[in-house]
Chain A
């Protein structure tokens, strides 16, 4: 008699990903789905897809989903969570979305201590639009808008979102993990689950930054890309948990403040 030892997470839909060969989005999707399954929250989870390669995430997760404008996923998630405070709300954003056009939204969602979970996939480049420089692009890394390599005097230096956001009191859990080998993937899984657990426990804003590859736009094979990630990105983006203490109490749940009373109009 055979025993099933591996199966598709229930929170992942049975469809084929559109991602390029060697892209690590697929692994990260699976880790998120496993966390949702293990916490038993699939039926009350609402995801928010961003703009970038993962724009079609709503096709891949077997949960309710909203697609947000570029960079605005944390604002959309805020609107959902404040309207339905007992649901689990997560965003899935890339580095162009979160660290460039959506910097205001992510900083202020963390500042308010929104009880949402953010999966931040950092591959140091704009993937969907064809390999342009991202704020996370490494110094010297060649992209279509930093030909010959990112030059700090022209385009500044990489932005470290996890370090920045961990300074905010509303952030309850901030970690950076990587996809460059199986051991790191296992650690990423633990961090992602913790980020969802933080929300289940109502502690505050949680974000996991996942260092990821883009073999297509980096111009590498999948294996070369994983090696490049480990050798070049990890030194710039150190791995680990930046914040594990629960932050200050986040915004109170809808309806949990003062009782209803009649309007007073003088």
Chain B
């Protein structure tokens, strides 16, 4: 078994990307993701790749568009305000069907917000962000190890569907150090050939064109139906989630990323007190794991959604649960991280209100 080493989240993600075959990175400085471009600035050249510090996030994502179109495994990273600027390129990559990895180490918003961890970019990541009807797989890892394990998968999914993929972390994931086992480097010659890439015809084929423009409305609709079919397949095949102590749970916690780490701690303390608390942790925010929530909603007494936002993922939880069970909400915002103690307090309150309601009553959040 490979050796465990201590690595900062941002650097571990960068190294995992290089090992996954990433050979092109363009980015722009913004806290709290700077260690990714800084790491790539020295590391990519060592493996025959290229790093560019672009003049802006807009330019960086469009460089990635060019490199991805030329067949390279390419990525960019940024944090919330920078990701807003990258939406142009993400929409174009979805439209032109280009695979790439985009990492967002989310900070507080709106506007310049702050540099502390937050989860306020969930809507932007999962419901569009850029213009037009498109979707992309959004991974929401809760540990450095999980993040780096998902990097390789992100590139594979991006190329399988020819679509950008996002890893949505936050300042905690990017900045904390955890012991990790790095993946083995992929053999670049084993990556499936990209026959669609613009590499020069070599005199051997008709020209390839990377494009998202369809001036004829009928053709544009056809293109959109084709994209939607691809998103349907992603929604069917790429859902990832984790269930903890769900079988006997009265209350199901749900959270992703950093808030999920807090929620797991709260769940363990609640269990120690004899409270039957379980957890559903989405690992993909899109496609969202609606099914485990739907199933659980037929049996459990309540859900508690914990987020570092004003309540964004909760809309997907509601879509899954509908009115089959009450959904409670606990949040912190602006860079504040919930504590396990505060979440445990919420669990106790919910438990208390269920008692008063005769266990199984239908409460409103």
27 contacts between A and B (CB under 8 A): A43-B202, A56-B213, A61-B207, A64-B201, A64-B209, A65-B198, A65-B210, A66-B210, A66-B211, A67-B211, A75-B58, A75-B59, A75-B63, A78-B26, A79-B24, A79-B26, A79-B69, A80-B70, A82-B52, A83-B67, A87-B70, A104-B56, A105-B55, A254-B49, A260-B46, A263-B182, A265-B7
Interface residues on B, range: 35 or more
Which residues of the other chain, A, contact B55 by a CB distance below 8 angstroms?
Answer: 104-105, 107-108
Which residues of the other chain, A, contact B306 by a CB distance below 8 angstroms?
Answer: none
Residues of chain A having any CB pair with chain B under 8 Å: 42-46, 48-49, 55-56, 58, 61-69, 72, 75-80, 82-84, 87-88, 104-105, 107-108, 112, 251, 254-255, 257-261, 263, 265
Q: Does B66 contact A (CB under 8 A)?
A: yes
| B198 lies within 8 A of A80 (CB) | yes
Q: Is the interface of B mostly helix, strand, loop or mixed?
A: mixed
Q: Which of A62, A75, A104, A263 has the most CB of B within 10 A?
A: A75
Identify which of B88-96, B141-149, B163-171 touches chain A: B88-96
Question: In the assembly, what is the distance between CA of A43 and CA of B206, in Å?
Answer: 10
Residues of chain B having any CB pair with chain A under 8 Å: 5, 7, 15, 18, 23-24, 26, 43, 45-50, 52, 54-56, 58-60, 62-72, 74, 88-89, 92, 96, 182, 198-203, 207-213
Determine the residue in chain A with the shortest Cβ distance to B18.
A263
| B26 lies within 8 A of A67 (CB) | no
With contact pairs A64-B207, A83-B70, A258-B45 given, residues A105 and B62 touching in the complex (Cβ less than 8 Å): yes
| A255 lies within 8 A of B200 (CB) | no
Which residues of the other chain, B, contact A46 by a CB distance below 8 angstroms?
Answer: 70, 198-200
Which residues of the other chain, B, contact A88 by a CB distance below 8 angstroms?
Answer: 200
| A265 lies within 8 A of B15 (CB) | yes
| B198 lies within 8 A of A44 (CB) | no
Which of B18, B46, B62 makes the CB contact (< 8 A) with A79?
Answer: B62
Determine the residue in chain A with the shortest Cβ distance to B98.
A66
Which residues of the other chain, A, contact B52 by a CB distance below 8 angstroms?
Answer: 78, 82, 112
Which residues of the other chain, B, contact A67 by a CB distance below 8 angstroms?
Answer: 96, 209-213
Determine the residue in chain A with the shortest Cβ distance to B91.
A69
B350 to chain A, nearest CB (A): 44
| B62 lies within 8 A of A43 (CB) | no
B40 to chain A, nearest CB (A): 12
Which residues of the other chain, B, contact A260 by a CB distance below 8 angstroms?
Answer: 46-48
Which residues of the other chain, B, contact A62 by a CB distance below 8 angstroms?
Answer: 207
| A79 lies within 8 A of B207 (CB) | no
Which residues of the other chain, A, contact B18 by a CB distance below 8 angstroms?
Answer: 263
A146 to chain B, nearest CB (A): 27
| B23 lies within 8 A of A83 (CB) | yes
| A76 lies within 8 A of B66 (CB) | yes
Determine the residue in chain B with the shortest Cβ distance to A18.
B215
A75 to chain B, nearest CB (A): 4
Q: Given known contacts A75-B26, A79-B26, what 20 new A-B pairs fall within 8 Å (CB)?
A: A42-B201, A43-B202, A46-B200, A56-B213, A64-B198, A64-B207, A66-B211, A67-B213, A68-B62, A75-B65, A77-B66, A79-B62, A80-B67, A83-B74, A105-B59, A107-B55, A260-B46, A265-B5, A265-B15, A265-B182
Which residues of the other chain, A, contact B198 by a CB distance below 8 angstroms?
Answer: 46, 64-66, 80
Determine the residue in chain B with the shortest Cβ distance to A69.
B92
Determine the residue in chain B with the shortest Cβ distance to A114.
B52
Determine the residue in chain B with the shortest Cβ distance to A49.
B211
B207 to chain A, nearest CB (A): 5
| A104 lies within 8 A of B59 (CB) | yes
Question: In the assembly, what is the distance between CA of A48 and CA of B5, in Å?
Answer: 43
Query: Which 3 pairs across A and B sit closest by C-beta, in order of nearness?
Result: A79-B66, A255-B48, A76-B66
Determine the residue in chain B with the shortest Cβ distance to A13.
B207
Which residues of the other chain, A, contact B182 by a CB distance below 8 angstroms?
Answer: 263, 265
Which of B47, B62, B70 makes the CB contact (< 8 A) with A75?
Answer: B62
